[in-house]
Amino acid sequence: MKDPVAVFSDYVAQKGLKMTPQRRLILDVFLRERGHMASEELYNKVKAVNKAVGQATVYRTLKLLSGSGLAKEFDFGDGVSRYEQTYGHSHHDHLICERCGKNVEVVDQGIEVIQERVAREHGFSLTGHVMHLYGVCADCSRSA
């Protein structure tokens, strides 16, 4: 399995685009992080390494990462787009606490199978899905 940097280089090259130091830096910082990250968070972490990088570049690069398949864009319903790593990360859904915002990644094979079946029943071929379960986590319901 190629390393993510190579995946990105290939994607960029194949699109006739260029590999720049900014893009490499943003990719590095992005890969170093776990979980979901908003563009602005990433921008701040990137600035910590190189203050000269512009916010627009981070936005533009995140789109490229998305296109290359290394990142996936998520929208949790607060007006901020978040991105999560998909490289070496298996698919998962989200279990979100409405009180504290805690975000747990979950997978259930049963759900995946049924989703496929539901789609097929309606003549759809499934390409992806987003499932967010909202609730109250143990900690929050205890301290309520």
Partner DNA sequence: TTCTGTGCAAATGATTTGCAGCCAG
Partner DNA sequence: CTGGCTGCAAATCATTTGCACAGAA
The residue ranges that bind its own copies (CB under 8 A) are 73, 75, 77, 79, 95, 97-98, 104, 106, 108, 110-111, 114-115, 117-119, 122-138, 141
In the list 52, 77, 122, 125, the residue contacting DNA (rule: CB under 7 A) is 52
Q: Which stretch binds DNA (CB under 7 A): 13-21, 92-100, 101-109, 123-131?
A: 13-21
For DNA, give the closer residue by CB, 79 or 110.
79
> Is residue 94 within 8 Å of residue 101, measured between CB atoms?
no
Reduced to 3 states (helix: H, G, I; strand: E, B; else coil), residue 89 is coil
In the list 5, 45, 57, 102, the residue contacting DNA (rule: CB under 7 A) is 57
Task: Classify residue 58 by burial, with Cβ atoms within 10 Å: 0-12, 13-18, 19+.
Answer: buried
Asked if residue 11 binds DNA (CB under 7 A), the reply is: no
Neighbour count for residue 11 (Cβ, 10 Å): 17
Among positions 18-37, residues that touch DNA (CB under 7 A) are 18-23
Whose structure tokens read 């915002």? 101
Q: How far is the CB of 101 from DNA (least distance, A)?
A: 15
Rounded CA separation 85/35 (Å): 7
Rounded CA separation 113/115 (Å): 5
- Note the residues at the interface with DNA (CB under 7 A): 12, 16-23, 38-40, 52-57, 59-61, 63, 79-81
